[in-house]
Amino acid sequence: MRKKDRKCDYEVYNTTPVTRAFVKWQLDPKRELLDLRDGFKLRQKYVDWLDDNIKVDRIGLYYHFRIRFNTTEEEPIHIYAKKGKSEYQYVVTDDCRTIRGLKSRGFHFSAKRKRYIEFVLGRFGIKISRDALVCTSSQSDFVKNLHNMVQAILLIDGLATFDLVEREG
């Protein structure tokens, strides 16, 4: 392809800096071609790291997952799962750790913040029941719901940082 034949859609080129950089990179004849196998190797390293940093124990009727994504208290995430009403259903919970952790650090639960927390949790299919984050999951959706619980815990736990900034500012 000759240089004068290379055209770029003006609208796409002017959307975001990342898009502009990508289009510019695509049009550069000297660009370094990436081997897709390198991407898969990096992905596999990430999967291996996850595997090494997720521990599972059995505590009575519960499976206890310790996931090495640090919260603002520099603690791993703890999630518990047990069989639900049917053998193909699971109940997944944080056992009150997230909300009570915020309360213990003096987080102010204004009406606006409560609505925000409920909104965030609702997007992940999670509800609050007596300070516990809870969702029910089918066996086939368990992994996705476990991941959603991790994301929700990290988002809500991060609110403590904003509260601290507001109080100091």
Give backbone dihedrals phi and psi of 34, rounded to 5 degrees, phi first.
-90, 140
Nearest CA to 137 out of 148, 152, 150, 128 is that of: 148
Residues 95 and 30 in one domain: no
8 SS3 class = coil
Same domain, 91 and 32: no
Single out the residue in 35, 52, 69 at which a domain terminates: 52
CA distances from 49 to 27, 70, 128, 160 (A): 35, 14, 31, 27
> What is the per-residue pLDDT across 122-157, written as a single tens digit (0 to 9) for each?
999 999 999 999 999 999 999 999 999 999 999 998
Chain segment 88-125, per-residue pLDDT in tens: 899 999 989 999 999 988 888 889 989 999 999 999 99
Claim to verify: residue 42 and residue 61 sit in the same structural domain: no
Domain tally, the chain? 2
Collapse the DSSP code of 165 into the 3-class scheme (helix H, G, I; strand E, B; otherwise coil) and give the result: helix
The verdict on 64 and 13 lying in the same domain is no
What SS3 state is found at 19? helix
Query: Binning pLDDT at 50, 70 and 90, where does residue 166 land?
Result: low
| Whether residue 33 has pLDDT greater than 70 | no
Task: Please write the tens of the pLDDT for every residue from 11-22.
Answer: 544 567 767 777
pTM: 0.74
pLDDT of residue 146: 95
CB 101 within 8 A of CB 71: yes
Are 41 and 70 in the same domain?
no
More confident residue, 25 or 116: 116
